[in-house]
Amino acid sequence: MIRTDTARRLATGAAYGGGGVGLAGAALVALLREEARSARRRVEARSTKQDPPSGDGVYGRGGGTPIVLTVLGDSSAVGLGAHRAAETPGVLVAAGLAELAERPVRLVRLARSGARAADLEEQVDRALAERPTVAVIMIGANDVTARTATSVSVGHLTDAVRRLTAAGCEVVVGTCPDLGTIRPIAQPLRTLARRWSRQMAAAQTIAVVEAGGRTVSLGSLLGPAFASDSAMFSVDEFHPSAAGYAAAAAVLLPSVADALGVWPAAADRGLRTLRRDTARPVARAAARAVNRPGTEVQPAEVAGSETGPWGPWALLRRRRPTEMPTPEEAEHVGDESGSPLAGRSG
């Protein structure tokens, strides 16, 4: 488990993966570099190298101004590895949110494959022009593989969340996935990749909550399933398959709906053994969330104060993943409101 003080240090400026590898000697460094090159060649050789259709459009029926859902981030937000727009996380969340809110939802996907946290600035510029109601951000994996300093990556993410929340937009961040589950990555690089990605996720959680957003842990959700079920991977063995994206969307949707006040309280009944509704310092919440599937961390108050002696308060919750619409059902939701549904055919 990531220790609380480690998570705090990562979020406030320390780079990750520092001198530990260097101390192991030049031979290990050379091995790690060769393993990284080998894994990259294997992934690139099998990658589709083509993003699925965006699925941008309006989902759901009924009157009123549509909820504007913007999706920002990297290839995981794009849905690279899926064949149809209806299999991507943006469309799945939009279709599910439309059903829960009983209002139309307009999806705007601004994520880009290969993006790093530094690219969020441009994506947020475009998102703000859409006047978003809620934004879903999935970012971090490319920063880990590129060995971007955590302080730099998290700084860009913090700026993005603050700009969005200042505009009245709710923000839900799916934290960095567990790269230790990626099969083309050999040992010992796989162990380091797991450590680095979990550190990134913990740092992201602290920074996002302090900036007014909420996070959902994806790494600990997808890790065990991806490690045991090859069907969760796409053909490149790096990006999720349609089943993998559905699993991610299933834990993101409750947090998105809750942020908008449309998540039904009845959906959480009977989960007292899973939920952790006690506020705690955000660093401690981040340390717990990084290893627990689908855990949400959001800002909280204690005795009317958002900050305690150990920093901002946070509420840690675990919800049962919601049942997601099938790709066919997601397409149907789009059809009924006249959505162009660009991804109907792969």
Catalytic position from the list 74, 220, 239, 241? 239
Catalytic position from the list 47, 75, 220, 234? 75
Give yes or no: 75 in active site: yes
Angle, helix 89-101 to helix 242-259, in steps of 10 degrees: 40
Give yes or no: 236 in active site: yes
Give yes or no: 151 in active site: no
Catalytic position from the list 56, 74, 178, 236? 236
| Residue count of the chain | 346
Active site members = 75, 236, 239
